[in-house]
């Protein structure tokens, strides 16, 4: 058997209503003065109120940094670091979607270690220590609460990653009640993001692809496949919301240890340059990348096809099953109301060569793809998706 390592968040708490009692947990984990990192939309919706109330009742002095934008910028990270320094933060609580959690992670690192962000980019370069860190996801998509990765937009366009086990938080607090009001479009896009994590983790060529990631990816796909339509069209369904949050976390654990590949590499220029939401960016290229990969990965995709679409269980032969799987994924995006072509989101045909060049910068992801991708291949895939 192939040797492997598996790292994850040491404590995962999954409980409806858990965010309302975060104070007792934060007292133990975050010291007296936590920095609470979130986004302005969640603040306006009042989604943070119960958690902030609980932190106050627990006697903690909380400073709220609520300026995180989607695809967060380095300037936002540095502003949050300043806020943390000014209050002499003893810990960091990230509360929100992947954007807020990613900012919280890197802020905890920079505050705890004093290291420069430029020394931390890439895989394994962040040294730590970091400040104590608790992450509370409010979308069911990125799995950031259990991944060692933080994705930050640099220079307005380039999405760059810090990847190091030091970024895994001390606690992931999963409260599906927080996701009940997630709008249908965000539920759909983030849900497909989680599915992509599981699919890419399962088929990853990374040397650390391992049996735990494979098992987690398959269970994630079962939960996500069975519940994504209900979560999108009946958002108040608590069981579906719970299953989506759990599925997204399991997919996060899978790809944290068996990293994602070309779907993400080709999605990043769409998010970085055109500021299309991350999950939608993935959905736009998903079927086209899988079709490109099929000559090398058909049997892997066939193995997981029935996890998402149980009626594909009877499909004969890896090639046919893989083709049916890709068609069904494409139809699912459409059914969920997501745009399906790059031209639908304002990308011009003339933009595609620049995007292909940009995608090639994501070498840390492309090396994991089941099939080698050249710049010409990336352009062909974008043309098919356009």
Phi-psi region of 65 (alpha: psi -120 to 50; beta: other; left: phi over 0): beta
- Give yes or no for residue 97 binding ligand NAD (CB under 6 A): yes
Rounded CA separation 155/230 (Å): 39
Among 34, 91, 94, 98, which residue sits at the site for ligand NAD (rule: CB under 6 A)?
98
Q: 266-285 mask for ligand NAD (x: CB under 6 A)?
A: ------------xx------
Q: Beta strands 149-154 and 158-163: pairing type? A: antiparallel
> Residue 125 or 374: which CB sits closer to ligand NAD?
125
* Helix/strand/coil (H/E/C) assignment for every residue in 31-69: CCCEEEECCHHHHHHCCCHHHHHHHHHCCCCCEEECCCC
CB of 196 to ligand NAD, least distance (A): 9
Q: Which of the stretches 92-100, 224-232, 285-293, 340-348 binds ligand NAD when contact is defined by CB under 6 A?
A: 92-100
From CA 148, how far away is CA 203, in angstroms rounded? 20
Is residue 217 close enough to count as binding ligand NAD by CB under 6 A?
no
| Span from 121-129, 134-142, 218-226, 318-326 in contact with ligand NAD (CB under 6 A) | 134-142
Q: Which of residues 337-376 bind ligand NAD (CB under 6 A)?
A: none
- State how far the Cα of 142 lies from the Cα of 190, in Å rounded to an integer: 7
Binds ligand NAD (CB under 6 A): choice among 178, 203, 290, 302: 178
Contact indicator for 304, 296 with CB cutoff of 8 Å: no
Angle between helices 211-233 and 278-308 (to 10 degrees): 110
Closest distance of CB 109 from ligand NAD, Å: 13
Q: Which stretch, 14-22, 108-116, 181-189, 288-296, contacts ligand NAD (CB under 6 A)?
A: 181-189
Q: Is the peptide bond before 129 cis (omega within 30 degrees of 0)?
A: yes
- Stretch binding ligand NAD (CB under 6 A), from 9-17, 123-131, 178-186, 230-238: 178-186
State yes or no: residue 64 binds ligand NAD (CB under 6 A).
Answer: no
Tell me the Ramachandran region of residue 115: left when phi exceeds 0, alpha when psi lies from -120 to 50, beta otherwise: beta
The answer to whether 268 touches 359, Cβ cutoff 8 Å, is: yes
96 lines the binding site for ligand NAD (CB under 6 A)? yes
Q: Among 81-89, 135-143, 215-223, 297-305, which window interacts with ligand NAD (CB under 6 A)?
A: 135-143
CA of 352: how far to CAs of 158, 280, 281, in Å? Answer: 16, 17, 14
> Given the rule CB under 6 A, which of 37-45, 226-234, 293-301, 314-322 is the region that contacts ligand NAD?
37-45
What character string, x for contact with ligand NAD (CB under 6 A) and - otherwise, covers 291-310?
--------------------
**Cα first-last separation, the chain:** 42
**Nearest distance from residue 142's CB to ligand NAD, in Å?**
4
Binding site for ligand NAD (CB under 6 A): 39, 41-42, 45, 47, 70-71, 96-100, 102, 138-139, 141-144, 147, 149-151, 159, 178-179, 181-182, 186, 190, 278-279
């Amino acid at each position: 058997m192939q040797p492997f390592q598996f790292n994850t968040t040491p404590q995962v708490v999954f409980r409806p209503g858990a965010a309302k009692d975060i104070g007792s947990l934060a007292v133990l984990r975050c010291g007296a003065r936590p920095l609470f990192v979130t986004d302005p939309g969640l603040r306006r919706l009042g989604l943070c109120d119960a958690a902030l109330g609980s932190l106050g009742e627990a006697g903690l002095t909380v400073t709220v940094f609520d300026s995180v934008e989607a695809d967060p910028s380095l300037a936002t990270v540095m502003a949050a670091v300043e806020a943390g320094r000014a209050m002499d933060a003893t810990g960091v609580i990230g509360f929100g979607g992947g954007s807020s959690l990613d900012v919280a992670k890197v802020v905890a690192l920079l505050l705890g270690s004093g290291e420069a962000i430029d020394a931390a980019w890439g895989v394994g370069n962040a040294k730590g220590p970091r400040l104590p860190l608790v992450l509370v996801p409010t979308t069911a998509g990125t799995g950031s609460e259990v991944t060692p990765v933080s994705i930050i937009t640099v220079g307005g366009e380039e999405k760059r990653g810090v990847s190091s086990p030091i970024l895994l938080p001390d606690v992931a607090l999963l409260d599906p009640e927080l996701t009940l009001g997630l709008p249908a479009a965000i539920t759909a896009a983030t849900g497909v993001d989680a599915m992509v994590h599981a699919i890419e983790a399962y088929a990853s060529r990374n040397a650390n692809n391992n049996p735990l990631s494979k098992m987690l990816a398959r269970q994630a796909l079962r939960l996500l496949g069975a519940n994504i339509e209900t979560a999108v069209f009946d958002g108040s369904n608590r069981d579906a919301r719970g299953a989506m949050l759990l599925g997204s976390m399991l997919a996060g654990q899978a790809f944290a240890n068996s990293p994602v590949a070309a779907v993400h590499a080709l999605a990043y220029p769409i998010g970085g340059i055109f500021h299309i939401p991350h999950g939608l960016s993935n959905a736009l290229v998903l079927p086209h990348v899988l079709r490109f990969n099929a000559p090398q990965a058909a049997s892997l995709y066939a193995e997981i096809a029935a996890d998402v679409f149980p009626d594909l269980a009877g499909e004969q032969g890896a090639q046919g099953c893989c083709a049916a799987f890709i068609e069904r994924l494409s139809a699912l995006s459409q059914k969920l109301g997501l745009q399906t072509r790059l031209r639908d989101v304002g990308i011009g045909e003339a933009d595609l060569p620049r995007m292909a060049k940009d995608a090639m910068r994501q070498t840390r992801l492309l090396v994991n793809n089941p099939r080698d991708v050249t710049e010409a291949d990336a352009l062909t895939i974008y043309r098919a998706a356009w």
